[in-house]
Structure formats: C-alpha cells, structure tokens
Amino acid sequence: MKFVHIADMHFDTPFTLLSDRANLGEVRRLDQRKAFKKMIEYIKENEVSYLFIAGDLYDHEYVRQSTIDFINNCFKQIPNTLIFITPGNHDPYLKNSYYVKYNWSKNVKIFTSKIEKVEMKDFDLYGYGFEDFYLKESKVEEINIENKEKLNFLITHASLDGGYDDQRVYNTISSSKLKQLGFDYVALGHIHKTNLTRENRNIIYPGSTISLGFDELGEHGMIVGDIEKEKIQVEFIKLDDKEFRELEIDITNINEPEELLEKIETLELNEKDLYKIILKGNRNFEINTYKLYKQIEARNIIKIKDKTQIGYDLNKIANNTTLKGIFAKEMLDKLNDENIDKETIEKAIEIGIEALS
C-alpha cells in the first residue's frame, strides 16, 4: 500500500518572529501553498492511495476561510486518495473549528479524542486527535490491536518520550510502549524535525512540511511509504524550495564596521535559501546589528545575531592612571556586580573606550 505522511504544515501561521523583512511572512505563507500543491501533484502522478496528516494542518487562531477552501480544493483534486487527519494542539477538534463546521471533501476522515479504528482492505488504521489545545492524559498506550494478521497503522499528534513538563501536556507516549503495541507504522506529528533513519523506519515524524524558522534548519517535506507485512519502504522527499541556514563570521581580526559589511557581502549564498549571520569572536568596535542589517544588499540575509565579546583588555587598561584607566577600573567593578545587566555594561564600555581614545 502506498501512502504519503505529512504533519505540522501550520497554514496561516503569522511568522511574526521570523524577520524584519516586511513581506517575508506573506512569502512563506505562499510557500506553504506551493509545497502543499507539490505534494498533491506527487499523489496524482504516483497514484498514492492514502494521505496521512498528523496534526497542526493549520493554526486555529489565525487560519482564514480562504485557506480552508484552498486545502479542501486540493483534496478534491485527489478523489481516489483517502485522506486521514488527526487534529493537533494548534488545530484541535473544537466546536467552532473548521474540522467541525466545514463541509469537507468526501475523501476526508477527521479523527477526534475518541480512539477510533477504521477498517480498510489493506490495513486497519487507529486514529487519536486533540479536542483541546492540550492533551495531558494520552489513551494511545491503551490500544489493543485487534487483528495482527493485517497491517496496522496509528496516526496521532504526540510528544514521543516527552521528558519536559512543557511537552507532557501534548499527548505524551512512550516509544518502547508503541513498539510493544506492534503497529506496522506510526504516523506522528508535533516535532518539526524528521526522525527517519535507517534504523527507525516505522515510528516516524515527517517534520514540519516547510521550515517555520531558524530553529528548523535543513530540508523539509513529506514521508512517502510503500508497506507490506514485514516489508517497509519509506523515504523522505523534499517539498520546501527554501532552507533556513546559519553562517558564522569570526570578527576578531575585523577592525571597522565597513570591513564587516564587506565580509558579509562577499559570502557565497544560495539565492533560494534564507540566512542568519552569527557574529562571534572578540569585537574591536561597537556593532549595531539593526544598522548593519539595513545596509546589507543580500535580501535573503534576514537575521543577524551578535554573539561576540568585547575585545578590550580591561585589566590592562585599568592599570593606566589616565581617565580611560579609571573608567576601565570602574567598569570592571560593575561587570562583577550580579545585579547589573552584563550586556548593558559591555555596550557602555565600548562607547566609553571609543570616546576616550
């Protein structure tokens, strides 16, 4: 049986923390649609029988009717493909949600927080979804597979082996328990990075369908599978045309803002990708990341992170009897004061040393 497995599309998420670029959120929302249409075309061309969407298809707080219409029209283009959706913590099965009030295409099945088994010719599918933004007590581990002669699938949005309190409210399930239950394939959502490896082939996060930011580096897309009893063939296929990338620049030997700007402008960048520049090392001048960001010509550099440290030897300067030495000595005392913000003091040191030079 052939299937496609995606999760965490997050249609209409605002991307507010992504960048100062005014229209980047709008661009990425268009990218979401492009990736989704690319998946639909793949399903058509390869006659895929089943599509599993393991939660957070859209963001309940922000999603628009027009976006739901777009999704549903895409579903209508693959009428011979059965589509199974399990709501997640961002798109729960609420009374006022589109999962409840919208007239979905006939080939769509949406699960609720009541564990349900759908019997198909090829397999039995167990589904379990969110009916609220939190799901503290999972019922997944209570499932008993009824017919182990068939292929058995599970689709759910979950925190696998969630060890932190903030993850334990998102349908936490144990990977060892899942293995004991004996599913042939577990289609998961919630974690935005795929866990598909040569060793792990059947308890799978596909990752977010497109990257939502710099905490989601690398390729993003879908899982494609062809499974028979005791035989699993699964692969990851990229859908997102863009990748988020990070590049580091050591500025220890850079002495002027103009020199740093020239260094950034000479970086070899893939024009399709989106970049964060991380500055590290010892700085010899004050860095204004906002001003620098505005000066950069490359429009796909969308963030600059300053992780540098001041390059002045304050202990050496403090030994001088000059006004600069007195200033350095006082700043050293402040740096040792736990009640004063260190970053603020470092900025004051830069401004003061330059002014007194």
- Tell me which DSSP letter residue 238 carries: E
Average pLDDT over residues 102-127: 96
Q: Is 291 left (phi over 0), alpha (psi -120 to 50) or beta?
A: alpha
Domain with CATH 3.60.21.10 in the chain: 2-238
**334-339: long-range pairs with CB below 8 Å, 24+:** none
Which stretches of the chain are DSSP H helices?
24-46, 65-76, 98-101, 175-181, 257-265, 289-295, 314-318, 323-335, 342-356
Instruction: For the chain, give the percent of residues with pLDDT over 90.
Output: 69
What's the chain's average pLDDT?
91
Residues 324 and 321: their CA atoms lie apart, in Å, by: 8
Provide the pLDDT confidence category of residue 167 given band limits of 50, 70 and 90: low
pLDDT at position 168 over 90 = no
| Mean pLDDT of the 33-59 span | 98
The pLDDT value recorded for residue 91 is 98
pTM equals 0.87
pLDDT higher than 80, residue 112: yes
pLDDT at 20: 59
Per-residue pLDDT at 327 exceeds 70: yes
Question: What's the rounded mean pLDDT across residues 309-322?
Answer: 81
* CA distance linking residue 110 with residue 129, whole number of Å: 9
Quick one: pLDDT at residue 21?
64
Residue 343: pLDDT band with limits 50, 70, 90: confident
pLDDT at 107 over 80: yes
**Three-state SS string across 126-151, please?**
EEECCCCCCECCCCHHHCCCCCCCCE
The tens digit of pLDDT for each residue in 195-216 reads 999 888 999 999 999 999 999 9
* Of the options 3.40.50.300, 3.20.20.70, 3.60.21.10, 3.10.20.30, the CATH number for the domain spanning 2-238: 3.60.21.10
> What pLDDT, on the 0 to 100 scale, is given for residue 163?
61
- Report percent pLDDT > 70 for the chain: 97
Q: How far apart are CA 240 and CA 21, in angstroms?
A: 20
DSSP 62: T
Which residue bears the tokens 């899982």? 223
* pLDDT single digits (tens) 282-297: 888 888 888 898 899 8
